[in-house]
């Protein structure tokens, strides 16, 4: 094969040299060796990091490193700024936003993996990109190595979206997968995730659902043209899930538990939530284990006129791939870099969505409706289940099923230990009530009353049951 000559050189300014930033350097300095394909050769001209001497590539490229972000952004040779800083504290987001705005003012396009900055300051950033005629690319922000953003803005540009949902946080999925597989406690599964590099030392952004919330905000911008602020979405993490919940899910519900980000349209209203969800074993999402992500997209037109009603209802596109780690994220970043370089930068597909959809508005959290799983831990005495069911009835919530397993002494001991409950484990009673369709507001009001009862030992754990 003839050697391709005259590759176009694309020069990058890199902000960040952590897990993702280092992976970008590995590709450019190591595996790619300056080549990203037949037509492009990538070159890093400057790297910002706070502690350069501790970084892997400092020994061989010391002159490229700087402790001043402005030297990267203002570098006259940098064509594209790659922002891969990652944040540890909320106050850093404002600083990182200003880096992106400065790059636009300097005439540079930006590729970022920083979903938290876009989720919080997206409107301001996209307005600035339009003002200065520059592009912002953010494929790496949502699904790691999954090309979901480009698919939504390009492949599905003529589609009318109905819903987008799935597993978007690899840390949560790994922890839940291990709890299901081996019966580990939440704490033990999280420690293993940290040891394997799937969870940060401080995992709160992942385990509380903040990371998934930021990704869902970006997905709703792209798919529905609706930008929501953090806090508008109903958000629940995985920290209250216990091994016992998987026993009930499997033995009684023929289900497992997955942490999902969901946006469903119902006319002009968009119901959005991030939460653990009881997912049937026969649903594809139930098979996604470890740090893998899987995102479903459902459109009105994809089934076609000839499709029967069931095909129209269940028709989905599924995107599956590695959702965490430096390598997959770096691949997504560099994919955006190459796409920008080949298109010559400047204006591109609107990041605000497939098209303008001003008629969508977020549904109130209290109005979000569904069927629900509610797990209780109470004192073992007569009349409690009946009293709880009465309270749900007064709230106009119908009971679907009551699940109660015969627990071993060891299971009860581990449950009591996880909640630091005093007394003999045999004196506590766990059980589950599943509820027919109700709103979040109804359930919250009913559980507020139940929570004041003297027999309740632990705040009830509740989350949606998946229904196609």
Catalytically active residues, by annotation = 215
Closest CA to 159 of 39, 280, 303: 303
CB atoms within 10 A of CB 67: 10
Q: Token digits for 307?
A: 């499709």
Closest CA to 164 of 206, 236, 221, 208: 221
Q: Token digits for 100?
A: 């992106």
What stretch of H or E contains 164?
strand 161-167
The CA distance from 345 to 108, in Å, is 9
Q: Token digits for 283?
A: 């649903």
> At 86, is the secondary structure helix, strand, or coil?
coil
Distances (CA, A) of 20 to 217, 278, 332: 22, 32, 11
The gap from C-alpha 152 to its chain's centroid, in whole angstroms, comes to: 16
Q: Token digits for 22?
A: 């280092």
The CA distance from 393 to 385, in Å, is 12
What's the angle, vertex CA 235, arms to CA 332 and CA 148, rounded to 5?
20
CB atoms within 10 A of CB 200: 17
> At 454, is the secondary structure helix, strand, or coil?
coil
Residue 442 DSSP symbol: H
The CA distance from 72 to 45, in Å, is 8
- Give the contacts of 402 (CB within 8 A, at least 6 positions apart): 385, 389, 431, 432, 433, 434
Rounded-to-10 torsion of CA 95, 99, 102, 104: -130
In 15-147, alpha helices (H): 19-25, 69-73, 92-105, 115-132
Q: What share of the chain is helix, strand, coil (3-state, %, to 5)?
A: 40, 25, 35
Q: How many helices (H) and strands (E) does the chain have?
A: 15, 17
Q: Token digits for 68?
A: 């001043």
Q: What is the largest CA-CA distance in the chain?
A: 83
Q: What are the φ/ψ torsions at residue 75 (nearest 5 degrees)? A: -60, 125
């Amino acid at each position: 094969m003839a050697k391709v000559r005259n590759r176009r050189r694309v020069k990058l300014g890199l902000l960040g040299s952590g897990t993702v930033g280092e992976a970008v350097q590995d590709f450019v300095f190591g595996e790619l060796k300056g080549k990203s394909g037949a037509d492009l050769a990538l070159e890093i001209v400057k790297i910002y990091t706070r502690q350069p001497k501790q970084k892997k590539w400092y020994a061989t490229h010391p002159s490229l490193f700087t402790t001043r972000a402005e030297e990267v952004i203002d570098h006259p040779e940098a064509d594209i700024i790659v922002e891969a800083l990652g944040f540890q504290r909320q106050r850093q987001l404002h600083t990182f936003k200003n880096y992106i705005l400065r790059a636009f003012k300097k005439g540079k396009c930006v590729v970022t993996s920083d979903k938290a900055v876009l989720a919080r300051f997206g409107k301001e950033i996209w307005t600035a990109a339009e003002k200065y005629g520059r592009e912002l690319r953010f494929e790496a922000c949502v699904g790691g190595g999954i090309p979901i953003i480009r698919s939504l803005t390009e492949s599905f540009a003529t589609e009318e979206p109905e819903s987008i949902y799935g597993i978007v946080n690899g840390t949560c999925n790994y922890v839940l997968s291990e709890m299901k597989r081996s019966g580990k406690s939440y704490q033990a599964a999280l420690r293993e995730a940290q040891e394997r590099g799937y969870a940060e030392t401080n995992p709160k952004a992942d385990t509380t659902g903040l990371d998934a919330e930021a990704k869902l905000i970006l997905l709703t911008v792209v798919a529905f043209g609706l930008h929501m602020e953090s806090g508008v979405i109903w958000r629940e993490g995985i920290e209250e899930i216990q091994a016992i919940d998987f026993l009930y899910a499997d033995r009684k519900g023929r289900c497992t538990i997955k942490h999902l980000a969901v946006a469903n349209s119902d006319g002009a209203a968009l119901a959005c939530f991030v939460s653990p969800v009881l997912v049937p074993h026969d649903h594809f999402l139930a098979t996604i284990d470890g740090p893998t992500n899987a995102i479903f997209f459902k459109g009105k037109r994809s089934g076609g006129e000839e499709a029967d009603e069931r095909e129209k209802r269940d028709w989905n596109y599924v995107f599956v791939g590695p959702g965490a780690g430096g390598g997959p994220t770096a691949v997504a970043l560099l994919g955006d870099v190459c796409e920008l370089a080949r298109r010559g930068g400047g204006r591109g597909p609107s990041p605000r969505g497939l098209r303008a959809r001003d008629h969508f508005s977020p549904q109130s959290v209290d109005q979000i409706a569904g069927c629900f799983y509610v797990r209780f831990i109470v004192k073992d005495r007569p009349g409690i289940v009946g009293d709880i069911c009465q309270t749900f009835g007064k709230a106009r919530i119908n009971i679907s099923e009551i699940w109660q397993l015969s627990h071993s002494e060891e299971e009860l001991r581990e449950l009591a230990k996880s909640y630091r409950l005093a007394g003999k484990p045999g004196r506590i009673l766990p059980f589950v009530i599943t509820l027919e369709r109700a709103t979040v507001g109804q359930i919250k009001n009913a559980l507020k009353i139940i929570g004041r009862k003297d027999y309740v030992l632990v705040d009830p754990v509740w989350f949606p049951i998946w229904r196609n």
